[in-house]
Structure 1
Amino acid sequence: MGDGQGDGQTWTAAPAAAERARSVIAAAWSCAVTAESGREEFVGAHSVADDGRVLLRVARDSRLLATAVCAPRGEPSAVLEFADVAPVPVRDRIRARLWLAGRLAVEEGRLAFEPARLVLRQSSGAVVIGRAEFAAAAPDPLAAAEARLLTHLADCHGDAVERLTRLVGPASLHGAVRVRPLAVDRHGLTLRVERARAHGDVRLPFHRPADDLAQLSERVHVLLGQAGAAARPRALHRQRAEGDG
C-alpha cells in the first residue's frame, strides 16, 4: 500500500484537480492579483462564492479597485495567483500554484472576479480546470486544519512518521536522509523523502476518505497498525546508525 514507485508516480485515492484548487484557495493566506494597474498582493481578503467567483475585500485606495471602477472598456481582465506552501519545513516548500484568468467587476464595495480559465500546477504537472467543475467542487474538509495537523505530527510524533516509512518501498527510500509529512487530505497522507541532492513524494492512501478529524485519526491509526507489522526499511536502518555514530 502506497509503496511509491518513484518521484513521478501516479497517486491513487487523491483529490480531483478542482477539489485541490478549491483547497488551495481555502488554505491560502494571500492572493496576488495582476491587472492593468500592476501587481498587488492581498492578505486575508479573498473568499469563493457558491457560483465559483472569487470575492476580494480591498481598501478604498487600492489601485486594483480604481482600475475596476474606471476601466474604459468595461470589466478589466486580471490574473489571480495562489501558492500552496507546505506548513512543515521541507526542501521546495511550494506544493502547488493556482492561476485564475478572468475579469473583475465591482460589487457592493468589493471586487468580484469571474474566472474564465484555471490552471493548477503541481509536481506531477499542470492541469486545466473547467469553470463549471471548479464552481461545483468543494475544498477538502481538512484543508483549514491541515497546517496544524502536519506541524503537530512533525514536531511531536517523529516516531510515528518513521513507522509510516515501513509502508514505503525500498526504491523510494534509497539514499533518504530525512522523511517529513508533506500533506494530508481526506484521501491520504503524503510524505516527503529528502535525499542529499534530490527529493520525492510518496502517497499513503487511506482505506476510506476522512470527512472530519475523528475519522482522520482513525485512518492514520490504521496506517500505523499496518506499518507496525512491517520491518524497518534498510535505508533508515543505515540512516539511524550513521546518526548515532
Structure 2
Amino acid sequence: MGVRHISTTLPTAAARARSVLATAWSCAVTTEIGRDELVGAHSVGADGTVLLVPPRDSALATAMICAPRGEPSTLLELADVSPVPVRDRIRARLWLSGSLVPDGERFVFAPTCAVLHDATGERIGIGLDELALTAPDPLAEAEARLLTHLADAHEDAVEQLTRLVRADSLYGVVRVRPLAIDRYGLTLRLERARSQADVRLPFDEPVEDVSQVTERMHILLTKARHVRRPLLRPATPES
C-alpha cells in the first residue's frame, strides 16, 4: 500500500479574512467622528462587499451626514474569536480601511487596504482583488458547532489526539482544547500554567465540505491510536 501524502497547506490570508467576514457577528467602525461597536449591523456579499446599516444615533450615522460627499474615511475591525473558551480567544483581527458610500438605507464599504493581524503578531497585507475572488473556508460557517461539539462531547478524542503531538511539546501542559478547524486541519491549544502554544494536526487531504470532516477526524484518531505512548491526561487548572 502506498503512503498517502499529508497536506501541510494552511489557509491563505485571503481565505482567513473572508472566513472572518463571513462569521463575525460584530465589528468596530471608526471614522473622524468617533467609534462604534456594531452588533448585527453588517452583512457580506458573495464578492466580499461589506454592507452596513448602523443605528441612527451612532457615530457612523453622524459621520455620514457630516462627511464631504457623504464618503467618510472609515476603518473596519473584525475579530476572529475562538468559539471554545480558551485563554486569548482572539485568533486574529482583520482591519479594512476605505470609505463608505450611501446606498438607500444602508452604506456600502469600499475598501482600499486589507490587513490580517495574526495572533502571532504578524501583519499580513491582502490584495483587494484576491480578497474579492477568494471564498471563505468551507468549514467557516460550521466551525463553531464542530469545535464546541468536539470540546464538550468528545474530550476523550481530544486526549487521544495529543499522541500526535511531539512529547516535548506537551511538557507542563495542564489543558488541551480544540482551537480551530479549517479545510486543511485541526489546531489544538496547549495550555500551561502561565503560557500556551498551538499545534496543528493536518488532514491527510483537504475537505471540500463539512460532510467530509468525520472521515478526516477518524483518520487522525486512527493514527493517534497507533502511537505507542501513554495518553496525556492534563489536570484541569484551578479557577
Give the Cα–Cα distance (whole angstroms) in 2 for the partners of residues 102 and 148 of structure 1: 33
Superposed, 1:17-32 pairs within 5 Å as: 17-32=13-28
1:34 partnered with 2:45 = no
In the superposition, the TM-score normalised over structure 2's length comes to: 0.90
Q: Does 1:63 align with 2:85?
A: no
Q: Does 1:48 align with 2:34?
A: no
Deviation at 1:219, TM superposition (A): 0.5
**Alignment of structure 1 residues 65-104 onto 2, 5 Å:** 65-104=61-100
Aligned residue in 1 for 2:11: 15
The Cα RMSD (Å) is 2.0
Q: Which amino acid aligns with 1:143?
A: A
Q: Do structure 1's residue 118 and structure 2's residue 81 form an aligned pair?
A: no
CA distance in 2, matches of 1:188, 1:210: 9
Instruction: Look up the equivalent residue of 1:224 and give its one-letter code.
Output: L
Cα deviation code 1:144-197 (max 9, x no counterpart): 111111111011100000101111111221211111100011111000001111
| 1:4 paired residue number | none
Aligned residues: 230
CA distance in 1, matches of 2:102, 2:55: 13
Q: Which residue of 2 aligns with 1:127?
A: 124
Which shifted more, 53-62 or 157-166? 53-62
The Cα of 1:213 is off from its aligned counterpart by: 2.1
Unpaired segments ≥5 residues, structure 1: 1-10
TM-aligned CA deviation for residue 60 of structure 1: 3.5
Name the structure 2 match of 1:212. 209
Cα offset for 1:135?
0.6
How far residue 73 of structure 1 moved from its aligned partner, in angstroms, is: 4.9
Which is worse superposed, 106-115 or 48-57?
48-57
* Aligned: 1:176 with 2:160: no
| Aligned residues of 1:65 and 1:111 also touching (Cα < 8 A) | no
Structure 2 CA distance for partners of 1:104 and 1:228, relative to 1, 3 Å: same
CA deviation after TM superposition for structure 1 residue 13, in Å: 1.8
Query: Which amino acid in the other structure matches residue 58 of structure 1?
Result: P
> Counterpart of 1:8?
none
Rate the CA distance shift 1:199–1:114 in 2: closer, same or farther, 3 A: same
Farther off after superposition, 41-50 or 174-183: 41-50
Q: Distance in 1 between matches of 2:193 and 2:228?
A: 24
Q: TM-score, normalised by structure 1?
A: 0.88
- Superposition deviation, residue 67 in structure 1: 1.7
Distance 2:72 2:230 in 1: 56
Structure 1 residue 142, shift from structure 2 partner:
1.1
Once the two structures are aligned, what percentage of the paired residues are identical?
Answer: 61
* Residue 143 of structure 1: how far off its partner (Å): 0.9
The answer to whether the Cα contact below 8 Å between 2:35 and 2:59 also exists between their aligned partners in 1 is: no
Measured after TM superposition, the shift of residue 69 of structure 1 is 3.6
Q: Give the aligned partner of residue 149 of structure 1.
A: 146
- 1-structure distance, mates of 2:69, 2:209: 46
Measure the CA separation in 2 of the matches of 1:52 and 1:87.
23
Supply the distance in 1 between the matched residues of 2:228 and 2:24 (Cα, whole angstroms).
Answer: 38
Deviation at 1:207, TM superposition (A): 1.1
Determine which structure has greater relative contact order: mean sequence separation of CA pairs < 8 Å that are 6+ residues apart, divided by chain length: 1
TM-superposed deviation, 1:233:
5.0
Give unmatched runs, 5+ long, in structure 2: 1-6
Q: Which residue among 222, 225, 228 is the counterpart of 1:228?
A: 225
Indicate how the Cα distance of structure 1 residues 74 and 56 shifts in structure 2: closer, same or farther if over 3 A, else same: closer
Deviation at 1:108, TM superposition (A): 2.3
In 2, the alpha carbon distance for the partners of 1:108 and 1:140 equals 31
* Residue identity in the other structure for 1:196: A
